Structure 1
Amino acid sequence: MSFNDDDDDDQYLNFLELLNDTDGTTDPSYVLSKTVRLCQKTAVNQFGAQIIPMFYYVNFFLSFLGNGLVLFIIYKYEKLNTVTNVFLLNLVLSNLLFSSSLPFWATYHLSEWIFGEALCKIVSSAYFIGFYSSILFLTLMTFDRYLAVVHAVAAAKSRKKALAVVASVVVWCISIAASVKELVLRTVSRNQFSGLVCEESGFAESTMKHWRKVSYYQQFLVFFLLPLFMVMYCYISITVRILSTRMKEKCRTIKLIFVIIFTFFVCWTPYNVVILLRAIQISMKEEESCAASDSLDKALYVTRNIAYLYCCISPVFYTFVGKKFQSHFKRLLAKKIPCLSRHLSLNSQSTRTTSQRTPHSTYDH
């Protein structure tokens, strides 16, 4: 054996000794200048495997039930000749796109990624495109309501179908651009502990950390803070406007506005606070304890699914509070279940008259 071979063997033995060192100490002569903490994520992974598949399947079921019902009512009773219906259709499609990825992720958390690299990229991209676009379409719908109520006269000329289509295309483009990294960086690799994994890889760890940090801040600032401020401003302005009118159902409308703002805030804030904490954690140079990291991961699992649940049921929440969609739903029930027709008060003509009399009021129709 040559000198170089002996030297390589010594280095290999030193590496094994460092790897098997259970006291947390390192050889002073080794090239590393600090101890690297390796956190075992067994407990976190088990926690995720227990709750995530259930949440994902529930979200998937509720999403396809609720969004599918709204989509059917739009097809059956409505026309895409109004700004509200154009935004609503796009919101439903974005939620269906998002929720279509959930069964794949549920299966992934139960075992490993068994769907191949192509689906890894496609499902990841669909997941984020649907997620981001649904938030932006919710914001657009809120802004549209603000224009219709607060600036009714001016909005009569500006709220055109063509502008709604252009705005929808812009939202889809922004959502796709924000999700491009999933298509580029997501790959399937084999992990000795988890089996086949679908995750972002292919670059140095420092580069991957940078992209994760950018994603977290992008999520918090662009897809939470900005929509939250817009939603709050629009609905507060709508409330002030309604209070200054002689609207018969003033109290009911204000209660509805409060419920919308409160639900949006409660569902989205915890998840985005955790996202911000993870971004700060990555930005800090000091290593965080394994216990704190595990707690943050568990909080992310829970809060993320609450946010996703709101994302899935939002079209139902935003449509069936209106009288027009309530009337459509009653007509649909009476047609499919005739024995219920005597218990449902159907007054389509009254609804159409109200809709024609107040074409810009999104709370009366």
Structure 2
Amino acid sequence: RVTEMSNDAYILSGEEAFDLLENISFSSDYYNGSDTCCSVPPCTSKSIQAFDRVFLPVFYSLLFPLGLCGNCMVMAVLLQCKRSLAGTDVFILNLALADVLLVVTLPFWAVQAVNGWVFGTGTCKLVGSIFKINFYSSIFFLVCISFDRYLSIVHAVHMYKRNKSHLMVASCLVVWGICVLLTMPDFLYLEVKQDYRLNITLCSHNFSSNTSLRWKTSLRICYHMLGFFLPLVAMLYCYTCIVRTLLRSHGFHKHKAMRVILIVVAVFFLCWTPYHLALVANTLIDLQVVGRDCDREAVLDIILSITASLGYFHCCLNPLLYAFVGIKFRNKFLELLGHIGCVSHDFLHRHVQTPSQRKDSTWSETTEASYSGL
């Protein structure tokens, strides 16, 4: 309720004043990666816009062919022996599929960095949702791999035997289903919006003005917890127990195939940790826990672009890790090239190691069953 005073001023009730301030302060969902407060003059976004127009198209143009070809190679190698895929192999196959789908969205974001979003609202919802689904699925399948190794080594329980294919399929469907549910807010609220400060159209969330900050903060917390911190804790626990069990039984040297999975998980967190730390800093600015400073925010915006790109680069690294660390995967890839006529039989004879030639890799019966795809 507004009360008119004799000096032509107006007094708002406390609740109305709060609503008005919230509407003014957080009317935009996209602003330098953060919302702005009415009490602080708007910061210019020219520096990050100029940086993104050059950096993102070039970097994404390199990631797209590398990630697409590398992960398709992983899928081809695994699918050629689909009748003998173990549980870990099935999860790696789904991990490669998630990386392929994530990489496919990169050209859309590269175009947005240069010309704004020109593909329409429907494509915005679809591409944004696919991107988020496959980010979550990548981390969740790494957790599944870690849990499978934990059960088989620490508790000697083999959940995903080859004769239990229905259990593998059910687990993968549950993971994909959870990822779709977590992405529903993106599908519902992603829209093409005109950002008047940047003078560009963007594919971004369009929440109602009086709930913008609340929604954004809630999604950020969900993103941090489910997409990074909780999986990190789960995998650290699993691999700590695994290493302790192997050392206690003096069997660590018999599980050299474990190095592939350990390196894959370590690389994931090395690639994504800087981005999440930068995003936490950005969230603290949004919540006004940290004071606003235009120069500092401009640097943080550039850091967010670089660290996010480092995270996307992770999609290209797994195939390289399999090829250079996993002896058995490398052998199967060379055999696949031989089947399609890319290399000669003499080349295969010289470079593909037989079981008797690679005793140092210690592919015992247990590891053979557990890591047939690596």
Instruction: Tell me if both proteins adopt one fold, taking TM over 0.5 as the criterion.
Output: yes
Name the amino acid aligned to 2:371.
Answer: T
Q: Is the 8 A contact 1:70 1:316 kept in 2?
A: no
Aligned pairs (5 A) from 1:290-301: 290-301=294-305
Shift of 1:228: 0.9
Structure-2 change in CA distance of 1:145 and 1:220 (3 Å): same
For 1:196, the equivalent position in structure 2 comes to 201
Residue 333 of structure 1 pairs with residue 333 of structure 2 = no
Equivalences for residues 98-109 of structure 1 within 5 A: 98-109=102-113
8 A contact 1:53–1:106 mirrored in 2: yes
1:126 to partner: Cα distance: 0.7
Residues 86 and 183 of structure 1: is their aligned pair in 2 closer, same or farther, counting only changes over 3 Å?
Answer: same
TM-score (norm 1): 0.79
Tell me, yes or no, if the aligned pair for 2:89 and 2:373 is still in contact at 8 Å: no
Where structure 2 has 5 or more consecutive residues not aligned to the other structure, the ranges are: 1-36
Distance 1:96 1:347, change over 3 A: same
Structure index of larger Rg:
1
- Asked if structure 2 preserves the Cα contact closer than 8 Å seen for 1:62 and 1:313, the reply is no
1:13 maps to none
* Alignment coverage as a number of residue pairs: 330
Q: 1:146 to 1:311 in 2, by over 3 A?
A: farther
**Aligned-partner residue type, residue 218 of structure 1:** C
Q: Which of 155, 174, 180 is residue 158 of structure 2 equivalent to?
A: 155
SS of aligned partner of 2:158: helix
Task: State the distance in 2 between where 1:256 and 1:80 align.
Answer: 19
Counterpart CA distance in 2 for 1:129 and 1:307 is 15
Contact 2:57/2:110 (8 A) holds in 1? yes
Query: Deviation per CA, 1:5-50, whole angstroms, max 9, x where unpaired?
Result: xxxxxxxxxxxxxxxxxxxxxxxxxxxx964411110001111122
Give the letter aligned to residue 234 of structure 1: C
Letter in 1 for 2:200: G
Equivalent residue for 1:117?
121
1:156-175 alignment to 2 at 5 Å?
160-175=164-179
8 A Cα contact 2:254 2:363, kept in partner: no
CA–CA distance in 1 between the matches of 2:245 and 2:369? 14
- Alignment match, 1:240: 244
Aligned twin of 2:53: 49
User: Runs of 5+ in structure 1 lacking a partner?
Assistant: 1-32
Range with greater deviation from structure 2 (242-251 or 134-143): 242-251
The letter of the residue matching 1:212 is K
Q: Determine if contact 2:103/2:315 at 8 Å carries over to the other structure.
A: no
Judging changes above 3 Å, is the alpha-carbon distance between structure 1 residues 254 and 80 closer, same or farther for their aligned structure 2 residues? closer
Is 1:347 aligned with 2:354? yes
The match for 2:23 is none
1:97 and 2:104 aligned = no
Distance 1:44 1:225 in 2: 28
Say yes or no: does 1:362 pair with 2:371: yes
Which residue of 2 is the match for residue 266 of structure 1?
Answer: 270
Tell me the CA shift for residue 326 of structure 1.
2.4
Kindly report which structure 2 residues correspond to 1:22-61, keeping only aligned pairs within 5 A, or say none: 35-61=39-65
Q: Give the stretch that moved more between structures: 169-178 or 96-105.
A: 169-178
Pick closer, same or farther for the CA change 1:350–1:83 going to 2, 3 Å.
farther
Identity of aligned residues (%): 30
Name the CA distance, whole Å, in 2 between partners of 1:72 and 1:186: 34
- Name the CA distance, whole Å, in 2 between partners of 1:182 and 1:202: 11
Higher relative contact order (CA 8 A, sep 6+): 2
- Assess, with a 3 A threshold, how the Cα gap between structure 1 residues 257 and 163 changes in structure 2: closer, same or farther: closer
Against the structure 1 CA distance between its residues 355 and 283, is the aligned structure 2 distance closer, same or farther, given a 3 Å change threshold?
Answer: same
AA in 2 matched with 1:196 = T
Instruction: Give the distance between the partners of 1:45 and 1:311, measured in 2 at CA.
Output: 25
Q: Structure 1 residues 114 and 314, CA, compared in 2 at 3 Å: closer, same or farther? A: same
User: 1:281 and 1:196 mapped to 2: Cα distance?
Assistant: 24
**1:81 to 1:250, Cα distance in 2 relative to 1, 3 A:** closer
Q: For residue 128 of structure 1, what is the amino acid of its counterpart?
A: K
Query: Do the aligned partners of 2:99 and 2:315 also contact (CA within 8 Å) in 1?
Result: yes
Code of the aligned partner of 1:211: W
Q: Which amino acid aligns with 1:92?
A: A
Single out whichever of 261-270 and 85-94 deviates more from structure 2: 261-270
Q: Which shifted more, 168-177 or 98-107?
A: 168-177
Relative to the length of structure 2, the TM-score reads 0.78
- Give the CA deviation at 1:173: 1.7
Map of 2:132 onto structure 1:
128
Task: Report the AA paired with residue 337 of structure 1.
Answer: V
Question: Residue in 1 aligned with 2:143?
Answer: 139
Query: Partner amino acid for 1:198?
Result: C
Q: Aligned pair in 2 of structure 1 residues 316, 227: CA closer, same or farther (>3 Å)? A: farther
CA pair 349-276 structure 1, distance change in 2 beyond 3 A: same
Task: Quickly say closer, same or farther: Cα 1:97–1:80, change in 2 above 3 A.
Answer: farther
* CA RMSD in angstroms, aligned pairs only: 3.1
Offset of residue 313 of structure 1? 2.8
SS in 2 for 1:288: coil
